[in-house]
Amino acid sequence: MSKKTNKPIFLFVAKDKEPLFSKKNRSLLTDPLDDNNPITVQVLGICSALAITVQLEPAIVMTISVIAVMGASNVIVSLLRNLIPNRIRIIVQLVVVASMVILVDQILRAYAYDVSKQLSIFIGLIITNCIVMGRLEAFALGNGVWKSLLDGVGNAAGYGFMLILVAFFRELFGSGNLYGYQIIPESFYEMGYVNNGFMLLSPMALITVGVIIWLQRARNRKLIEKG
Amino acid sequence: MDYLNLFVRSIFIENMVFAYFLGMCSYLAVSKTVKTAVGLGLAVVFVLSITVPINFLLDSYLLRPGALTWLDASYADVDLSFLSFIMFIAVIASMVQLVEMIVEKFASYLYVALGIFLPLIAVNCAILGGSLFMQQKDFAGIGESAVYGAGSGIGFFLAILAISAIREKIAYSNIPAPLRGLGITFIITGLMAIGFMSFMGIKI
């Protein structure tokens, strides 16, 4: 979730008079973390968010993969936005995203085989992750390269933030570990503390997200749904 | 694995929504009323039962390691499986387009009922997920993959039908304001998933 981005992008924005990190651009990056979170507010990308949150490690790897895919595909689609005929744009977007995902998948298989096995089909499912398509449709098709990059990275980071949050609670209460290291001291177990194995099962992912949404909306009243 | 067992497994035990969380986005977005939920559910059943067998053929005659031997024995060590994502999604996108045109031409009633949901389905994770699971499970023949596709489609249909009926009723209950809408839907889905877990271990 770094806020710095590579310098070469400068070339594309040189014409804009706007400073690189103007207030508006910064909000593209930070809004998705809370007020406009892809998972809890825009309701995008839930499919993969839940299935891989049993432990922190796959969640973090997934976050990095999604940030890479979204940043890259947002930039590419934004570069192509004036060339793509409107009727076939979905297929073009799918092809762009699918090629990015293949790259990420191959890299993961080469350098992090265990995690890649754990994530199984969910890396492939980034292709149909609604966040990617949703942001391409809603933002990259109508905005410049730099802004699209910020939007992509921001939304992916917001998504990853939720992922890591859910994984944190599930791993902590489910197996007493964090990132594979034991956190809850042995003396607790001797006193009779027992891991809640139920947190490791799929229904608890849904309920955890439900509770997070509840807390977020209780704190941030303007997000409450009417009707 | 016999067909009936696979069918029941894919509907109840390995339910797309409750066990793997696939198709959650449309599941949450389109479940406000029963009518639209039925439309989307039918479209998913339809597309899944077509695309999974097609992708099975593609996988076994083109993509998996050694699949090209039917062309020539010298292709035995060609492995194209890294292309599976892009091939599957291309098949799905074009099948959806094709199905849309056929349905429009020959079953205009169905076309009106499915409406905007057909094109949306190309980007439904449940569809791509069905094909990827098919590849992972290594089915023996096209029959098994067709049964698996139809079964997971029906599983999705049941799930979205149930949640939309519950959501229609829950509109009248007194829920804490921050939990209204999305929050309560998540929690109910979680409870339903616990219910579906009781199917685990069923064998026919």
What is the DSSP annotation of B51-66? HHHHHHHHIIIIISTT
Structure tokens belonging to residue B197 = 């877990």
ipTM of the complex: 0.79
Q: How far is the C-alpha of A163 from the C-alpha of A52, rounded, in Å?
A: 8
Is A32 a domain residue? no
Q: How far is the C-alpha of B131 from the C-alpha of B97, rounded, in Å?
A: 17
Is A29 a domain residue? no
pLDDT of the residue at B195: 87
Q: How far is the C-alpha of A172 from the C-alpha of A184, rounded, in Å?
A: 8
Q: How far is the C-alpha of B2 from the C-alpha of B91, rounded, in Å?
A: 27
Are B123 and A101 an interchain contact pair (Cβ–Cβ within 8 Å)? no
pLDDT of the residue at A10: 45
Tens-digit pLDDT profile for residues B120-176: 777 778 888 888 888 888 888 888 999 999 999 999 999 999 999 999 998 888 888
**Smallest CA–CA distance from B14 into chain A, residue:** A202
CA distance B189 to chain A (A): 7
Q: Global pTM? A: 0.82
Are A205 and B176 an interchain contact pair (Cβ–Cβ within 8 Å)? no
Which residue from A121, A130, A216 is facing B132, i.e. has the nearest CB? A121
Is A120 a domain residue? yes
pLDDT of the residue at A192: 80
Q: Does A144 touch chain B (CB under 8 A)?
A: no
Domain count of chain A?
1
CA distance B128 to chain A (A): 7
pLDDT of the residue at B150: 94
Structure tokens belonging to residue A153 = 């990275």
The DSSP output letter for A35 is T
Q: Which residues have C-beta within 8 Å of that of residue A205, sequence separation ≥ 6?
A: A50, A51, A53, A166, A170, B21, B190
Burial of B114 (0-12, 13-18, 19+ CB in 10 A): buried
Are B119 and A205 an interchain contact pair (Cβ–Cβ within 8 Å)? no
Is A30 a domain residue? no
Is A28 a domain residue? no
pLDDT of the residue at B77: 78
Is A35 a domain residue? no
Residues of chain A with Cβ-Cβ distance to B21 below 8 Å are 46-51, 202, 205-206
Are A203 and B197 an interchain contact pair (Cβ–Cβ within 8 Å)? yes
Domain range for A179 is: 40-216
pLDDT of the residue at A13: 46
Q: How far is the C-alpha of A180 from the C-alpha of A177, rounded, in Å?
A: 6
Sign of CA dihedral A82, A74, B126, B92: positive
Are A120 and B136 an interchain contact pair (Cβ–Cβ within 8 Å)? yes
Q: Which residues have C-beta within 8 Å of that of residue A109, sequence separation ≥ 6?
A: A116
Is A146 a domain residue? yes
Is A33 a domain residue? no
How big is the A-B interface in CB pairs under 8 Å? 142
Which residue from B29, B82, B193 is facing A202, i.e. has the nearest CB? B193
Question: What stretches in chain A show pLDDT beneath 70?
Answer: 1-19, 48-49, 226-227
Of residues A156, A153, A139, the one with CA closest to residue A81: A139
pLDDT of the residue at B92: 87
- 11-70 in A: which are within 8 Å (CB) of B? 40, 43-51
Question: What stretches in chain B show pLDDT beneath 70?
Answer: 1, 113-117, 203-204
Q: How far is the C-alpha of A110 from the C-alpha of A192, rounded, in Å?
A: 43
Q: What is the mean pLDDT of chain B?
A: 84
